[in-house]
């Protein structure tokens, strides 16, 4: 895993810039993004180097800090532990970020749901007239507080946020909440987690769902899961295509489609 070119911080300060082929140039951009993400999270000091097939991240004289792999996965990178280092092989759509849900994001998530989604798409049914009634808004908040913000959460919920180009952040910030994603342990299958995603109408079909599922797979893998399970409806062809692209095994039933993705390696 020896470097094939100078890491970005080692590039000459003066003189002509090295000529690189497109693949190597892409890896150098990826290395710069990894370094910025780690520094922003207070995990600077890592050796980030371009290697064959990816970017290697290592902390000299110590093991990878706890949470580093999960952090990179949540930021949209695809990190895999290889021979004592983190190998980052790529990054999915870089303007899609998963932020752990908190009270501030919950308010923005409710606003996104009211503006751009049907209640039946994003929460359990609530009796009453159609639309986002006061009762449904209150039930939406109670649902998320009980599931992921309580003292004993039963799932991990993330706000899906669109940021600036390449995930560098932008004017959208937390106000760019466009949906939610979740991971929950499957009680009947130790080592398995169930994934769920909903998106606002305005961002469906734009590659956001695929980016989210890849990030969820990375987070689940970093947390020790060996399998991710997702369920959709037979008429949701877009979700089925995304799951198939992740190399998930798909089983079709009369009223549901179930996908199972092994997490032994990063999806391509």
Separation CA 235–CA 103 (nearest Å) = 34
Cβ 238 vs Cβ 205: under 8 Å: yes
**Domain shared by 112 and 176, yes or no:** yes
Question: Domain boundary at 67, 91, 115, which?
Answer: 91
Cβ 238 vs Cβ 204: under 8 Å: yes
Number of H helices, E strands in the chain: 7, 11
> What is the pTM for the complete model shown?
0.65
From first to last of its 268 residues, the chain has per-residue pLDDT tens of 333 333 344 444 455 566 667 778 878 888 998 998 888 888 877 889 998 778 899 887 666 666 787 778 777 777 777 777 888 877 767 789 999 999 999 999 999 999 999 999 999 999 999 999 999 999 999 999 999 999 999 999 999 999 865 444 433 333 499 999 999 999 999 999 999 999 999 888 777 888 899 899 999 999 999 999 999 888 887 777 777 766 678 888 888 899 999 987 544 4
Residue 190 lies in a domain: yes
Separation CA 22–CA 49 (nearest Å) = 17
Q: Is 23 helix (H, G, I), strand (E, B) or coil?
A: helix
**Domain shared by 115 and 246, yes or no:** yes
Residue 268 lies in a domain: no
Residue 47 lies in a domain: yes
Query: Rounded to the nearest 5 degrees, what angle is found at the Cα of 54, between the Cα atoms of 51 and 60?
Result: 60
Residue 151 lies in a domain: yes
Question: Does residue 113 come out as left (phi exceeding 0), alpha (psi in the -120 to 50 range) or beta?
Answer: alpha
**Domain shared by 85 and 200, yes or no:** no
**Domain shared by 36 and 161, yes or no:** no
């Amino acid at each position: 895993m020896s470097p094939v070119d100078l890491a970005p911080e080692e590039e000459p300060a003066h003189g002509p810039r090295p000529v690189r082929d497109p693949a190597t140039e892409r890896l150098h951009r990826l290395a710069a993004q990894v370094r910025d993400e780690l520094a922003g999270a207070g995990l600077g000091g890592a050796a980030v180097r371009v290697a064959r097939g990816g970017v290697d991240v290592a902390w000299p004289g110590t093991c990878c800090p706890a949470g580093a792999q999960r952090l990179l996965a949540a930021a949209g990178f695809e990190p895999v532990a290889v021979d004592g280092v983190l190998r980052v092989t790529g990054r999915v759509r870089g303007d899609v970020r998963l932020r752990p849900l908190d009270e501030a994001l919950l308010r923005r998530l409710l606003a996104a749901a009211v503006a751009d989604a049907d209640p039946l798409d994003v929460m359990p049914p609530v009796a009453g007239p159609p639309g986002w009634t006061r009762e449904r808004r209150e039930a939406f908040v109670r649902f998320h507080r009980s599931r992921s913000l309580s003292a004993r959460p039963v799932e991990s919920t993330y706000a899906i946020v669109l940021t600036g180009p390449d995930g560098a952040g932008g004017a959208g910030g937390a106000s760019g909440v466009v949906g939610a994603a979740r991971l929950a342990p499957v009680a009947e299958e130790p080592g398995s987690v169930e994934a769920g995603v909903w998106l606002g109408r305005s961002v469906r079909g734009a590659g956001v769902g695929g980016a989210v599922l890849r990030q969820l797979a990375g987070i689940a893998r970093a947390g020790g899961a060996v399998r991710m399970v997702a369920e959709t409806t037979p008429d949701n062809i877009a979700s089925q295509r995304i799951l198939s692209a992740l190399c998930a095994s798909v089983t079709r039933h009369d009223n549901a489609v179930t996908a199972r993705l092994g997490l032994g390696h990063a999806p391509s």
